[in-house]
Each structure stands twice: as C-alpha cells, then as structure tokens.
Amino acid sequence: MVRTILRILGAACSAVLLYFSYDSQSGVIFALTAILVLIAVTDNANSILQCSLVCIFYCMFVCAQWLFIVSDVVNGDSTSAMLVLPFTVFLIHTVPVCLCIILFKRSRIESMLIGMLLAEFLFVQFNLGNQCFQMGTILAATPSFIKFFRVTGIWGGSFLIVFTGYSFYRIIHNKKWWIPMACVYGAIICMNIFLQQSNEHARKR
C-alpha cells in the first residue's frame, strides 16, 4: 500500500517536473528527470497499475498546461472548444500508451515509452494547434537542436528526450547501454555538421 502511494506521488512529481521544463532555463534537465522518475515509478508494476500511473501523470500535466494557456489568453473567455481541448489531449496521450502497455506486457517500460512517442506523433497528425503539449518544444530554445528540428520536426525532439531519459535509466542498470546512446548523439552531431556545411556552401553561391 505504501509503495503504491509512493508510486502515485512519483507520477505526480514527474508531471510537475515536465510542466516546469517548458518555462525554465534548465528545461532539458527537468524533462529528462521527469522521464527518469516516470520510468522508475512504473518499473515492475502490473499493467493496471502502470496504466493508472500514466493516467495520473498525463492528467496532471495536461491540466497544468491547459490552465497556463487559459490564463495566458488575453480575452479571458473560454470557448467550448477550449473546454474540450484538455480532455481530447488527455485521450490522445493516454490511449496509445495504455494500449501498448496492455499489448506488450513483457516489455512494459519500452512499450510505455513507445506509446508516448506514438501519442506525440498522433498529436501532430490531429493538429490540435498548441505545441506546448509536445515534449519536443522543450528543445526548441536550444540553438544546437534547431537544425535537427528542420529535418525531424518537433517529434524528433520528443524522441530525443524520451530516448535519452530511457538510456540514462538503462545505463544505471547496464553500463553497456551508453553505446547506442553514443551512436544516436553521434548521428545528430554529424547531421548538424553536414547541414551547417551545406548552408555555408549555399551562401557562397
């Protein structure tokens, strides 16, 4: 019982960390910590508990972001579309994650993270309009990732945050996991160098 309560508190803290990562100079650190905490509290949990923790996480995060959007509106009038928005965003994020967890029970952590990335992709496809519900926008303020965004879009930033958080978690348990992490970041660095050289070559013309 105590362990379940600690898991619930951990999922709530993870949502708060992710919320503050959008409005902080250390946003990337907050986002990675949020992913690490979420993985830690859902690890070794059964499917029902894991889905419940994911729902708590997204419920708090979506509501916090939506309240921020409403308070930022100059008119102050909340239309029916804005009232439907948080519920829609919550469903788009939680349904794919819970389905992946239920369908792939042997690898619940991996299936949860794949579901999160699938939800981010669906969010783009549905074109809900506000990008503050996508993790990738946290990296948008980082100059070194701007060129990376031109190729992958915001979803690429979401993938990078989730993959890095998962990699740090795996490195704690298995030090050999730094190899695939190094390969991904090596590819990103090479991509940035290639794009920079291409832009310089185009300017000279």
Class of residue 195 by CB neighbours under 10 A (exposed 0-12, middle 13-18, buried 19+): middle
Spell out the long-range contacts of 40-44 with Cβ–Cβ below 8 A and sequence spacing 24 or more.
40/10, 40/169, 41/6, 41/7, 41/10, 41/11, 41/14, 42/7, 42/11, 42/108, 42/109, 42/112, 43/109
The per-residue pLDDT for range 18-28, each reduced to its tens digit, is: 888 877 666 77
0.75 surpassed by pTM: yes
Residue 78 confidence (pLDDT) above 50 = no
The whole-angstrom separation of Cα 71 and Cα 194 is 42
